[in-house]
């Protein structure tokens, strides 16, 4: 029997914001759960650059942390960038300062998980595993 490949996830904070305590915690928790984590850091890259890296790294999941108060703009850009690079099948998860009323608009873009302040590491990790395995199935079906 071949052991399943670990989930590979790219985590990043797009834009100039550097409040990265949350995403660092997620990076560490993912690593401890046996995932392969690519952490791009914060405050130095645009949304497009994060997406480029996700495509190049061929990840199973892309996770963005957004604390800027306007997550809609960045999520829209990210979804658009994934589409342009023909990588819309990479599930996108976002977390950060996101108001309840902003959630539906973000979800309707096709974002696979929206985690506002107060989300637990357990639920975030569970969702990552879930979307990664769903994608795995989909890809296999396509083949």
Partner 1 sequence: MDTQTKNRWREALPEKAKAKDKVRPVLYTPADVKGDYEKDLGLPGEYPFTRGIYPGMYAEQHWRMIQQAGFGNSEDTNERFKFFIREGAQSASVTFDMPTVRGVDSDDPLARGEVGQVGQPIDTVDDMRRLIDGIPLEKVHIAMLASHQGAPVIFSMFVEAAVQAGYKPEQLRGTIQNEFLSFYEGLPRSTAYKPAASVRIVADTIQYCQEHVPAFIPVNVTAEIAREMGCNMVQELAFCMANGISYVEAALAKGADVDKFGGQVAFYMGVHNNFFEEIAKYRAARRMWAKIMRERFGAKNPKSWRFRVHAQENASTCTAQQPLNNIVRGTIQALAAVLGGVQSLDVNPYDEALAIPTEESNRVALRTQQVIAHESGVCDVIDPLGGSYYVEALTNRAEEEAWKIIRQFEEWGKGSVLQGVLHGIDSGYFEDVITAEAYKHEMAVERKEKIVVGVNEYVVPNENLDLKLTYVPLDVENRQVERLKAWKKKRDGKAVQKSLEIVRKAASNEKENLLPPIREAVRTGATLGETCKVLRESLGLWEKQW
Joined tokens for residue 12: 């990043």
Joined tokens for residue 122: 């357990």
Q: Which one of 52, 103, 121, 129 is in contact with partner 1 (CB under 8 A)?
A: 121
Residues in CB range of 127: below 8 A, 6 or more apart: 93, 112, 113, 115
* d(C-alpha 138, C-alpha 23), whole Å: 27
Q: Which stretch binds partner 1 (CB under 8 A): 15-23, 50-58, 87-95, 129-137?
A: 15-23
Q: Which one of 56, 58, 70, 133 is in contact with partner 1 (CB under 8 A)?
A: 70
Does residue 68 belong to the site contacting partner 1 (CB under 8 A)?
yes
* d(C-alpha 75, C-alpha 77), whole Å: 5
Does residue 106 belong to the site contacting partner 1 (CB under 8 A)?
no
Give the residues lining the site for partner 1 (CB under 8 A): 15-18, 20-21, 24-25, 28-29, 41-44, 46, 67-70, 72-74, 77, 97, 99-100, 116-118, 120-122
């Amino acid at each position: 029997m071949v052991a399943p490949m670990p989930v590979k996830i790219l985590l990043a904070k797009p834009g100039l914001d550097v409040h990265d305590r949350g995403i660092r915690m997620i990076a560490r928790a993912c690593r401890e759960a046996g995932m392969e984590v690519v952490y791009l850091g914060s405050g130095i890259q645009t949304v497009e650059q994060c997406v480029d890296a996700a495509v190049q790294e061929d990840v199973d999941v892309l996770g963005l942390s957004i604390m800027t108060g306007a997550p809609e703009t960045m999520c829209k850009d990210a979804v658009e960038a994934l589409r342009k690079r023909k990588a819309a099948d990479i599930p996108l998860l976002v977390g950060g300062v996101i108001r309840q009323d902003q959630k539906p608009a973000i979800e309707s873009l096709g974002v696979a998980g929206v985690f506002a302040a107060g989300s637990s590491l357990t639920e975030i990790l569970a969702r990552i595993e879930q979307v990664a395995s769903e994608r795995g199935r989909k890809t296999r079906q396509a083949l």
